[in-house]
Chain A
């Protein structure tokens, strides 16, 4: 799976979890850019991402991503 593929799948997960079809993600996107992406929904998103990609992050990793790009890198490194 390449980066663009992961990005588009992430976008679907975000749209479902945040119940907002207008969410558009790019590598530079941060939590500030997405309405409703806060500390609470972050955990919810992580759980959905872990289920979808069948992987498991550490607590440290979950709190370390600064933008979507780093999250994508995180997913690739676990694959």
Chain B
């Protein structure tokens, strides 16, 4: 039940009506509805995973209550370690089992959703990586005294399984979400409109930009050994855009749905392609994961290694990115992807640039030449990394790199359906331009609500809706199957 599907639309409509019209007066009932809805949403993918989700919730709920009550430090640590071992152990155990992958693929196919296999591979571990990261940060925060453990099991279970962000992000912290679950939510018209607006933008990015890119990137990565180098470069460019539009679009939808039911959840992308260096890129890309890693992995490590100066920092950053890499799945490609990004930091650390104040491009309309060059540089570094990320194995990735450096780099790129590539490129430009002008807002079109007149605003929404309906990739794929 992905967001852009009929089953989810029906589910959410029913949920929305019950939530605001029937259970609105009673906080407990409303939370129980969130929990039931989340479990229903989860079970729709595969009910077998539901027992695991519930089991993890029970264990961590109890550990959260007992950690502060533990009599001695040793006992306290033991309880914390039980939780962490469960979390890390669960990830290690499940991610290596192919059975899980295939059952998820089957789950998709039984409801007639054929997501391409690669996207699926990314989404797949996310469900578990996701709530595991939630429960682990919760226990660590309780242990540090950053948050009072909740004694309301419905609140805690809803926190672990909150459906808008359950499958693909953002990773919410207990410090952010639990207080919101404990308080009454009021329906606010402006908030709801804002939610819809963000969903619309997410839909555009996901099903117009990303899914259209997917048609060509799949061609390129499936046939990279026979295609000319120019096609590989264009395909790689499209893939870099695709993964951004796909993931940030999905996050926008998740945040939008959460807003529709009165919640503010974690921002996940902050226009990463407008960054000035790779460190800034990672502060703006998949923020909920990187900030989690910074707080619970990188900071403790860098404190530990602080006497070793730059060397200590490099070790800390490499370990941090090794984990970020392998978090994506049990494949060496992801490990190498992480290490490559870690190594991107080394020149910054050695030059001391990482400590200098960065000038934000937020309010700037036209970047200077140097700023523009830096943005292009960050984009190229990201492109290089995504070859490894997208390849099935490391030797394919190196083969891909090798094939780029050939004379065919100067030939016309070849694709099936050149017109389609052109239209996709136009959508990419539209997306990037709108994002550039909207970069000081929460999401690209957030400012539209205040800056444009009603007529212009609604014309824009209708235009977007029309584009989403007419240029969504499923229609496209159908056309190309004819050839």
**A-side interface residues toward B, CB under 8 Å?**
17-20, 35-36, 39-44, 46-47, 59, 62-64
Contacts and interface: CB of A to CB of B under 8 A. Distances in A.
Nearest to B298: A39
A19 B298 contact: no
B357 A47 contact: no
A19 B355 contact: yes
Nearest to A64: B144
B304 to A, nearest CB: 7
B432 interface: no
Given A46-B306, A59-B303, A19 B295 contact: no
A interface secondary structure, majority: helix
Nearest to B294: A39
A40 B295 contact: no
B357 A43 contact: no
Contacts of B307: 47
Interface string B283-322: 0000000000011001110111011000001000000000
Contacts, number: 43
B356 A43 contact: no
* Interface hub of A19, A40, A46 (most chain B Cβ within 10 A): A40
Contacts of B294: 39
A46 B356 contact: no
B421 interface: no
Contacts of A64: 144
A64 B355 CA distance: 21
11 contacts: A19-B355, A35-B357, A36-B356, A36-B358, A39-B294, A39-B299, A41-B355, A43-B306, A43-B313, A46-B303, A63-B299
B295 A39 contact: yes
Please tell me the size bucket of the interface on B. Answer: 10 to 19
B425 interface: no
Contacts of B303: 43, 46, 59, 62-63
A39 B293 CA distance: 11
B354 interface: yes
* Interface hub of A19, A39, A41 (most chain B Cβ within 10 A): A39
Contacts of B313: 40, 43
Contact of A40 (B144, B300, B304, B355): B355
A23 to B, nearest CB: 10
A58 B302 CA distance: 13
Nearest to A60: B144
Contacts of A18: 355, 357
A47 B358 CA distance: 21
A24 B307 CA distance: 27
Interface in B256-273: none
A40 B357 contact: no
A19 B354 contact: no
B357 A36 contact: yes
A39 B303 CA distance: 10
Contacts of A44: 355
A19 B304 contact: no
5 closest pairs, A vs B, by CB?
A36-B357, A43-B302, A59-B303, A39-B294, A39-B299
A42 to B, nearest CB: 8
Given A43-B299, A59-B303, 12 more contacts: A18-B355, A18-B357, A19-B356, A19-B357, A20-B357, A36-B355, A39-B298, A40-B302, A40-B313, A41-B355, A43-B306, A44-B355
B354 A40 contact: yes
Contacts of B295: 39
Contacts of A40: 279, 302, 313, 354-355
Nearest to A17: B355
A32 B322 CA distance: 29
Contacts of B299: 39, 42-43, 63
A59 B300 contact: yes
A39 B292 CA distance: 12
Contacts of A63: 144, 299-300, 303
* Interface hub of B306, B307, B313, B358 (most chain A Cβ within 10 A): B306
Contacts of A42: 299
A47 B298 CA distance: 16
A63 B307 CA distance: 17
A9 B294 CA distance: 28
A11 B306 CA distance: 21
A20 B295 CA distance: 25
B306 A47 contact: yes
A18 B354 CA distance: 10
Contacts of B304: 59
A6 B304 CA distance: 25
A50 to B, nearest CB: 8
A18 B144 CA distance: 28
B285 to A, nearest CB: 16
